[in-house]
Chain A
Amino acid sequence: MGRLHLKEIKSISYEHADVKKGYTDQSLRINLDATDIIITPIEEKVKKTFIGGKGYDLWMMWNAVSGSTKWNDPENAICISSGPLGGTPGYPGGGKSIVTSISPLTGAPIDSNVGGYFGPYKKFSGFDVIQVDGKAKKDTIIFIDGIENTITLFESENLPTDAYELSDILTRHFDKDKPINVSVVTTGPGAANTFFGCLNFSWWDAGRKRVRYKQAGRGGIGTVFADKKIKAIVARCGTISMKTNNPADFEGLKRVTKTHAKEIHDLDPKQNRMSLVGTTHLVPIMNDHDCLPVHNFKFGSHPESRVIGEETYEHLFDKGFDGCWKGCTVACSHGVKDFSPVTGPYRGQTVFVDGPEYETIAGCGANLGIFDAHTILEINFYCDAYGLDTISVGTSLGFVMECFENNLITTKHTGGMALNFGNRFNALTLIHQMATGEGFGAIIGKGVRRMKAIFAQEFGADMAFMQDIGMESKGLEFSEYITKESLAQQGGYGLALKGPQHDEAWLIFLDMVHNFMPTFENKAEALHWFPMFRTWFGLCGLCKLPWNDIVPEDNKTMPEPAKVAKHVGWYADFFSAVTGRKTGPDDLISMSESVYNFQRVFNLKMGFGTREYDTLPYRAMGPVTVEEYESRQERYDKQLKEKYGLQITDMSAKEKVAVLRQKREEQYELLKDAVYERRGWNNNGIPTLETIQRLGIDFPDVVELLKKNGAT
């Protein structure tokens, strides 16, 4: 511990609030400007309306920021919450944290749902939600000690800069006898030098005796964290059992926990085998269905993708229990031990890599033309250690590579590096540059939207082409699925509140493969129900994977198998058992609807949240180039002839690209109309007054804002 210099600058003792029915009914605010530590009760009305998790975060944020707050203003807050069900050991996926802030990429609220033990530890220390705002003058560590009931702010010096080493040192420092009692939130040097910094949430892996990590990746919350000079937030908590949440109906909780956990234990080996392969099974599946992003989302498959899928990673993953929550039977958070990077500061050393998951493989592998499992591991490792979001890194690098191959940028701009697809060593060099904010990597770290402006203004690149191929919407880089042939998923990305992340709706197979939603109304219904239900996991502190990645054996005979009705029923039982609030499946949707609409209104408050912001780059809808058209010519020709009744014999490929584009863009606008109507929004995408009244979010400032923006 020789290197650890912590100077206490403030410490308070507090009275521990007991958890009652999943709630402590207290929030904790830490203001770094004044080093204030403020504990406040949470009102019943807030609890009823916002439920917890992301709902609580957004409510705290709404009150913390004004419409003109920028991501790096002191009043911007980082909020972290668990939720009433979060912290239930043994319930699959029962321990997530939800983090929000105003995003450096989008300027609007961003939320990220992340594993590790921090959320439950913070709650069991006495706080449903924490808000950190202001800016520290020096590197600061916030320590919430739920065993001693103290909160302490430390200034720190000479700590390691990378998240990998830092979390390890702090875990061992804050409870050297029982490191399992500690969970740490950190970022790394890349967060300060890019706009897509991530946060690493840790847990102690008792089997391997090491710190493990999950990332709150999206939207640059790590960048806000670094800007506030927060070095780490640490929570310490004692032993947790199913009783720690003090559930209203302990027997009922035991029953539903056991039922769900057993089902996963029995069926995962027969289904996706996530306890062995994580989400890497998706790589070959997406590839074979033409949905794996290859070469900046230009293509959907590649013959070499097999070598970066489950067949390879199953052998690389270290065997052992890999739940990022205590007793989660899905246990899909795998890692690779004794990995030896060939570049960067850890070159030649052996490290443990937490991952990769599908998104990292797709974004930092196939999308870059890198079909090498070890390079993907190295990118994964350095992104985590540097505090970089692998999705934004992959999507941004893919954009840069396509710009390079089209001569929009040249070696003159890249510091002499050739950035063709597949150039794995230069991709790694750029990631090292992102960490230090040097070279061309510093420009890439600004994200796709800002790169487009820089390339156009400073390098004279063609803006219209970059708008078509730059895979961002609302300023956030796309997560890693090809949506060209699924209008519903185009909506899933384009209409997502925070930007194109698949956690709101993932409808590609239902729509594209099974043609389950042929009409606009069907698609709109799906783009109502699925985002609402998926939002609910974020309100309660849960992981969505156990809902629909392992399903009951009779699920396929159910009327709407995609909803996995039996599990929805179990979640309602779970909620009832913990909170004592008698809840049925439909209630889960209405809980989410309030928070979902509130977030849409929040976007409006920040200057967004209307129709014009629900746009997509054309590449998400169809082929931008003739090369792309020709790669799926049979399919596109057929559509032009059969779906649109066009005579195409005399059309050039370029004309076909143009006419298909016109048709697809029209379809997307029609989809928006249908979805807005279903969600109770006006034609400009703003919730109507009737909608917010029905949902109980008609607070005076909300009503005033909506009226100012033309809502009736």
Chain B
Amino acid sequence: MIKVDDKQLPWSENMTLSSVLKTLDSVDLCAVVRLNGKLVSSPNFDKTPIENNAEIQLLPLVAGG
């Protein structure tokens, strides 16, 4: 299983951040997540694999300074 915000989701082989986000609603403005506590930005979503038991927090729209 993986955890996205407060929700548990099933984990599968070859999962990436992009493939996880595709299954979720209202993520159009999500350009950054925390994956196991580390920031990952949208240009890297495709190439970021998700391990089993991963914890993902979806960060809100980046608002700048």
Given contacts A285-B32, A310-B39, A514-B28, contact A270 B5 (CB under 8 A): yes
- A285–B28 CB distance below 8 A: no
A491 to chain B, nearest CB (A): 14
- B61–A551 CB distance below 8 A: yes
Residue of A nearest to B57 (CB): A270
In chain B between 26 and 44, which residues have their CB closer than 8 angstroms to a CB of chain A?
26-32, 38-44
CA distance A289 to B40 in the complex (A): 10
Interface string of B49-62 (1 = CB under 8 A from A): 00000000101111
- B31–A509 CB distance below 8 A: yes
Q: Which of A357, A358, A479, A549 has the most CB of B within 10 A?
A: A549
Q: Which of B27, B29, B40, B65 has the most CB of A within 10 A?
A: B65
Residue of B nearest to A272 (CB): B59
Given contacts A556-B29, A561-B29, contact A281 B39 (CB under 8 A): yes
- A556–B30 CB distance below 8 A: yes
Given contacts A270-B5, A513-B42, contact A562 B62 (CB under 8 A): no
Q: Which residues of A contact B62 (CB under 8 A)?
A: 282, 285, 509, 513
Chain B CB within 8 A of A510 CB: yes
Chain B CB within 8 A of A271 CB: yes
Chain A CB within 8 A of B64 CB: yes
Given contacts A270-B5, A270-B57, A272-B59, contact A289 B41 (CB under 8 A): yes
Residue of A nearest to B26 (CB): A556
In chain A between 290 and 320, which residues have their CB closer than 8 angstroms to a CB of chain B?
290, 309-311
Residue of A nearest to B65 (CB): A502
Chain B interface category by residue count: 20 to 34
CA distance A601 to B4 in the complex (A): 50
Interface of B is mostly: loop
- A502–B64 CB distance below 8 A: yes
A456 to chain B, nearest CB (A): 32
Q: Which residues of A contact B60 (CB under 8 A)?
A: 271, 550-551, 555-556, 561
- B39–A279 CB distance below 8 A: no
Q: Which residues of B contact A593 (CB under 8 A)?
A: none
A338 to chain B, nearest CB (A): 26
CA distance A289 to B41 in the complex (A): 7
Given contacts A284-B41, A289-B42, contact A510 B61 (CB under 8 A): yes
CA distance A477 to B30 in the complex (A): 31
CA distance A508 to B42 in the complex (A): 14
CA distance A289 to B5 in the complex (A): 23
Chain B CB within 8 A of A557 CB: yes
- A508–B64 CB distance below 8 A: yes
Interface string of A467-485 (1 = CB under 8 A from B): 0000000000001110000
CA distance A310 to B40 in the complex (A): 13
Residue of B nearest to A515 (CB): B28
Chain B CB within 8 A of A503 CB: yes
B54 to chain A, nearest CB (A): 16
- B43–A514 CB distance below 8 A: no
CA distance A620 to B63 in the complex (A): 20
Q: Which residues of A contact B39 (CB under 8 A)?
A: 281, 284-285, 288, 309-310
The one of B5, B27, B30, B64 that contacts A282, using a Cβ cutoff of 8 Å: B64
- B43–A289 CB distance below 8 A: yes
B34 to chain A, nearest CB (A): 9
CA distance A228 to B31 in the complex (A): 47
Given contacts A509-B31, A556-B27, contact A288 B65 (CB under 8 A): no
Chain B CB within 8 A of A325 CB: no
Q: Which residues of B contact A309 (CB under 8 A)?
A: 39
Chain B CB within 8 A of A629 CB: no
Q: Which of A281, A288, A311, A506 has the most CB of B within 10 A?
A: A288
Please name 13 further chain A to chain B contacts, defined as beta carbons within 8 Å, in addition to the given A289-B42, A561-B29, sorted by A numbering: A270-B57, A281-B39, A282-B65, A284-B39, A285-B39, A288-B39, A359-B65, A509-B61, A509-B62, A513-B42, A556-B26, A556-B29, A557-B26
A-B CB proximity, top 6 nearest: A506-B64, A288-B41, A548-B63, A556-B26, A551-B60, A509-B62
Q: List 7 A-B contacts (CB under 8 A).
A: A270-B5, A282-B62, A288-B42, A309-B39, A357-B65, A561-B29, A562-B29
